[in-house]
Structure 1
Amino acid sequence: MDKKGKPVHILVIRLSAMGDVAMTIPVLDAVLEAYPEVRFTVLTKKHFAPIFSQLDRVSVHPAEVKIKHKGLIGLWRLYKELSKLKFDAVADLHNVLRSRILKKYFALDGVPFVQIDKGRKEKKALTRPSNKTFHQLRTTHQRYAYVFSELGCPISLEDSKSLVRLQLSKNVVKAVTQDAKKWVGIAPFAAHEGKMYPLKRMREVIETLNNTNKYKILLFGGGASEAAELSAIEASYNNVQNVAGKLNLTEELELISNLDVMLSMDSGNGHLAANYGIPVVTLWGVTHPFAGFAPFGQPKENVLVSDRNRFPLVPTSVYGNKLPKGYESVMESIPSQQVVDRLINILEN
């Protein structure tokens, strides 16, 4: 603690998922800007460490929850590792069983430990099938910020700065031929069917952009099956390149930071791009931005949602894992021309 009793070294817990981890960046940046004496250690998966590389006074402690930090004994081992780092406070931005167990361990040392209020009650009211309470809830960024306020470090998210554009490494330049065209990133996949724009419609978007011959379209994806689908799309168009499976996360961030616009689902790539101040157009099916997961700092015009007149149960859940019967075509209610128009409006202005 400093002389005023404010924490100096804060442990930040956010283990997963990538989008939620990425959403910590604007908040941590605002805290670091407002409190020059504060430094963070972030407890997260080792794979996510590059997300934090641009933040000063931030280090990452890898959580190996499937191996040495598994179970009660593993979490005790993790606590003993962390306790050696002498934290003044803990900001739990995850609030799951693992972090609740860590809270009990840190209580042994009397370390202040504040957990995020996920707003489960409000989110349940927003997503229930009948008698919905349909309005904008506090955003995840605001919920994260409130945790630091409770620890004595109130902030204004308006003070958060975008991360700076990264220089492209040789491997990225090799994967993506540089030219004078504007770069459009497209991340067409999502964890659940109800959050993913049909590939047939996405092909319409890609074809329209490709035929202008003004833009390079870069496709981002995850697993091997996704990479294969994207390779098939790449082979169909002159101005499309598939980077899925060709770059590690550090290299993907280099590329994302140099985009002119990103098109994504309600998924992690949109949050990564937003952190660099890149315009992000997001498509929402059975989920809705009212739940608080929209990318940081994006105007409402960049948020394209499904038609609630036709699909009044939207949002059906917070995470998109509930696809009611008859809602299989929910994403079809976002016309591909609307997506194209928004992208071109950004690219040409």
Structure 2
Amino acid sequence: MGDVAMTVPVLLAVLKRYPDIRITVLTKAFMAPIFSGLPRTQVVVAQVKDKHKGVAGLYRLFKELQRAKINAVADLHNVLRSNILIRFFKFSGVRVRQIDKGRVAKKALTRAKSKIFSPLKTTHERYADVFAQLGYPVQLSKADVLTKSDLNAQLAQRIGNAPKKWVGVAPFAAFSGKMYPLALMKEIVSDLTQYKGYKVMLFGGGKSEVAQLTKMAKVHEDCICMAGQLDFASELDLISNLDLMLAMDSGNAHLAALYGVPTLTLWGVTHPYAGFAPFGQPADNCITADREQYPLIPTSVYGNKFPEGYESVMETISPKRVVDRIQELLG
């Protein structure tokens, strides 16, 4: 989800710079609401588990995409399916360019021996490079964000109209190496709810996460579990109205950044140097684990690999440090 969300600021920059072009986004059905705020953009759903499965299905998808009269293809994914699909476009004479994921540089950043610890090109910049190669160069700006949405009456009523700062908290991540210990996150939520000016909203997905967040919300006043309560489009509407989002190196951080929401991220065995920091956020909003104590960080790009003894790197980030930064950002 994070990779998909990170395309939006780049697409918005392209659409602003080139008012005569239209964009067709190919993605999965669940991701479609992410692009709803973009002008001159249509979404085509890839049904890779049935209708568009296999080489024959991808050729069927190619024929469907031809109806959109596509003049150029920007492959921002560069995986097996997209590699097959762009071959069909190439053979039909359509210009195609692919993302350079920088795998060699990322390997040098994450390896244990002879590590090269220096910031790499951001994913947003890599996406922009693809459009530049197609003849649509852009300069990315912090202004390339979506406008916040209006909340429906039912959701607004549920949250309440008290004049409080809305703080989103998304404590989970795909891999344990990127997740802040839940016990410490509970301390953060407890501290935040002590300030009567904050309304804390918990985000997550999946039965286990929903159960844990529901239990956490019941303990504190001014804390609401939003996990499992909204469809994805409504969740995006709510996120766009937050005053701040606290998240891991994960999809929720990128979703909040799409709307220019101040986004505070916590980093374990991954690191912003790999290029996955949320769009438009200052470096101080990325709170990283202690590299003096754990010098092999980052141990992987996605947080799925780390050596023995690195299971507790997140514990070097104190709850107080996080709460203090939130208070600085909210005033």
Interval containing the TM-score (normalised by the shorter chain): over 0.9
Aligned to 2:200, the other structure's residue is in SS state strand
Say if 1:287 and 1:316, in contact at 8 Å, map to a contact too: yes
Q: Which runs of 4+ in 1 moved over 4 A?
A: none
Corresponding letter in the other structure for 1:334: I
Say if 2:8 and 2:35, in contact at 8 Å, map to a contact too: yes
Say if 2:142 and 2:280, in contact at 8 Å, map to a contact too: no
Say if 1:30 and 1:159, in contact at 8 Å, map to a contact too: no
Corresponding letter in the other structure for 1:233: M
Task: Name 1:116's counterpart in structure 2.
Answer: 99
Say if 1:116 and 1:143, in contact at 8 Å, map to a contact too: yes
Change in CA separation of 1:226 and 1:175 when aligned onto 2, cut-off 3 Å: farther
Q: Aligned runs of 1:31-50 on 2, under 5 Å?
A: 31-50=14-33
Corresponding letter in the other structure for 1:290: Y
Q: CA deviation at 1:160?
A: 4.4
Q: CA deviation at 1:86?
A: 1.4
Task: Name 2:290's counterpart in structure 1.
Answer: 307
Corresponding letter in the other structure for 2:161: Q
- 1:195 matches 2:178: yes
Task: Name 1:209's counterpart in structure 2.
Answer: 192
TM-score of the pair, normalised by structure 1 = 0.93
2:35 to 49, 52, 57: 52
Task: Name 1:4's counterpart in structure 2.
Answer: none
Q: CA deviation at 1:78?
A: 0.8
Task: Output the CA distance in 1 between the equivalents of 2:154 and 2:252.
Answer: 20
Deviations 1:243-272 (A, max 9, x none): 000001111111111111000000011111
1:269 to 245, 252, 255: 252
Task: Name 1:317's counterpart in structure 2.
Answer: 300
2:311 to 304, 328, 344: 328
Q: Aligned runs of 1:1-349 on 2, under 5 Å?
A: 18-158=1-141, 160-348=143-331
Q: Once superposed, what is the RMSD of the aligned Cα atoms? A: 1.0
Corresponding letter in the other structure for 1:181: K
Q: CA deviation at 1:136?
A: 0.4
Q: % of aligned pairs identical?
A: 57
Task: Output the CA distance in 1 between the equivalents of 2:50 and 2:327.
Answer: 47
Deviations 1:255-303 (A, max 9, x none): 1111110000000111111111100000000100000000000011101
Say if 2:178 and 2:303, in contact at 8 Å, map to a contact too: yes
Corresponding letter in the other structure for 1:232: K
Say if 2:2 and 2:252, in contact at 8 Å, map to a contact too: yes
Task: Output the CA distance in 2 between the equivalents of 1:193 and 1:159.
Answer: 31
Change in CA separation of 1:272 and 1:140 when aligned onto 2, cut-off 3 Å: same
Change in CA separation of 1:71 and 1:175 when aligned onto 2, cut-off 3 Å: farther
Corresponding letter in the other structure for 1:123: K
Aligned to 2:228, the other structure's residue is in SS state coil
Aligned to 2:141, the other structure's residue is in SS state helix
Change in CA separation of 1:346 and 1:217 when aligned onto 2, cut-off 3 Å: same
Say if 2:165 and 2:198, in contact at 8 Å, map to a contact too: yes
Corresponding letter in the other structure for 1:292: G
Task: Output the CA distance in 2 between the equivalents of 1:164 and 1:330.
Answer: 36
TM-score of the pair, normalised by structure 2 = 0.98
Task: Output the CA distance in 1 between the equivalents of 2:50 and 2:112.
Answer: 40
Corresponding letter in the other structure for 2:207: A
Corresponding letter in the other structure for 1:21: V
Say if 2:148 and 2:237, in contact at 8 Å, map to a contact too: yes
Say if 2:10 and 2:144, in contact at 8 Å, map to a contact too: no
Task: Output the CA distance in 1 between the equivalents of 2:155 and 2:2.
Answer: 22
Task: Output the CA distance in 2 between the equivalents of 1:92 and 1:163.
Answer: 23
Task: Output the CA distance in 2 between the equivalents of 1:160 and 1:211.
Answer: 34
Deviations 1:219-253 (A, max 9, x none): 00011110000011011101110000000111111
Task: Output the CA distance in 1 between the equivalents of 2:203 and 2:7.
Answer: 22
Task: Output the CA distance in 2 between the equivalents of 1:311 and 1:262.
Answer: 27
Task: Output the CA distance in 1 between the equivalents of 2:161 and 2:271.
Answer: 36
Aligned to 2:219, the other structure's residue is in SS state coil
